[in-house]
Amino acid sequence: MSSARERLTRLLSLVPYLDAHPGADLEDTAAYFGIDSDTLIDDLQLLFVTGRPGHMPDDLIDASWEGGQIFISNAEEVSVPVRLSAEEAGVLVLALELLSSLPGLDSEAVATAASKLRLAAGENLRTAVDVSPIDVDEELLSAMRQAVDDESALQIEYYVASRDELTTRIIAPTNLVPGSDWYVDAWCYSAGAPRRFALGSIRTWEPADHPPLSVSESSSRSHEVTLGFDGRGAWLADELDVTEREYFDNGETSVRVRLLVHSVDWLSRFLLCHADVITEVDDTDAVSAALRRLG
């Protein structure tokens, strides 16, 4: 079952495709869009109530698929392939710039994609799109990236603004995360738990002579979690970067998802924020952490 967002995206691509391929085979078109023929027919039936404001017969798209060949008409309003706005292209370029700084990625491929997006948006604007990534100490970012790759530890001096305190910690970085600042997910030996640190609050850093993470510590890094949401929270399934999604017509759970979680701390805060719509979770550590926050 497709989400509303997935279906809208497919419909916006389906009309230009059919307009450019009159008489397209029903089965071949379904395969092209990665759906079955029944789902495609549902989409075509939806086109009958789609068109310009006014809702008169001449305002609506007409579609036929008798004999297994698809023809559409009166679809000029949406027959042009969807193009990114300057703002959307800018956001994507920024995301690609950030991705290029992450370890383990093909930076050349990312740079090529960003260049193409800049060109496309520049043509629309008749000017180039200038997107600047997050300011960061490049030497610190490089040290964190190297520590992630080597699975090594660092000793850092970390400023805690809420206490106006400079703390010394030994951490084992596991993942770099871009946001309003650059962040690093790490096992904090001082706290004995995973933590997320803002690079902008790290004052000094140096290699630390510390043994590798134990099996129990390593297992608390990235792991998959199952979450269930009721009907009120079903929208969260579209907001999260999930690996699996399953919808239900009956019962308390409306949608169940699987997602990769890099931080128990993040998950515990997510559970507290959305506790009223979460119906199931299979991470006992995150539940315990959330309960401790309440206490």
- The DSSP symbol for 163 reads T
What pLDDT shows up at residue 291?
81
Beta-strand (E) ranges in 76-219?
A: 153-160, 165-178, 182-188, 193-198, 202-208
DSSP codes, 15-75: HHHHHHSTTEEHHHHHHHTTS-HHHHHHHHHHHTT-BSTT--GGGB-EEE-GGGEEEEES-
Residues 91 and 43: their CA atoms lie apart, in Å, by 30
| Neighbour count for residue 165 (Cβ, 10 Å) | 9
Is this structure's pTM higher than 0.85?
no
Residues 261 and 266: their CA atoms lie apart, in Å, by 8
pLDDT tens profile 196-249? 898 999 999 999 877 655 544 444 456 789 999 998 988 888 888 788 889 998
Mean pLDDT, range 38-62, rounded to an integer: 68
pLDDT tens profile 75-93? 665 555 556 666 676 667 7
Residues 91 and 50 both lie in one domain = no
Residues 206 and 240 both lie in one domain = no
Residues 60 and 56: their CA atoms lie apart, in Å, by 7
Residues 60 and 91 both lie in one domain = no
Domain assignment of residue 236, given as a range: 222-294
Number of domains in the chain: 4
What pLDDT shows up at residue 99?
67
Residues 12 and 9: their CA atoms lie apart, in Å, by 5
Mark which of 166, 188, 217 sits at the end of a domain: 217
Mean pLDDT, range 158-174, rounded to an integer: 88
Share of the chain above pLDDT 90, in %: 15
Task: Among 59-63, 81-85, 139-143, 273-277, name the one with the lowest average pLDDT.
Answer: 81-85
- Please indicate, yes or no, if residue 130 is contained in any of the structural domains: no
- Please indicate, yes or no, if residue 48 is contained in any of the structural domains: yes
Mean pLDDT, all residues of the chain: 78
Half-sphere exposure of 125 (CA within 13 A, CB side): 17
pLDDT band at 250 (very low <50, low <70, confident <90, very high): confident
- Please indicate, yes or no, if residue 132 is contained in any of the structural domains: no
Mark which of 217, 245, 277 sits at the end of a domain: 217
- Please indicate, yes or no, if residue 10 is contained in any of the structural domains: yes
Contacts of 254 (CB under 8 A, 6+ apart): 229, 230, 231, 233, 234, 247, 248
Mark which of 125, 155, 184 sits at the end of a domain: 125
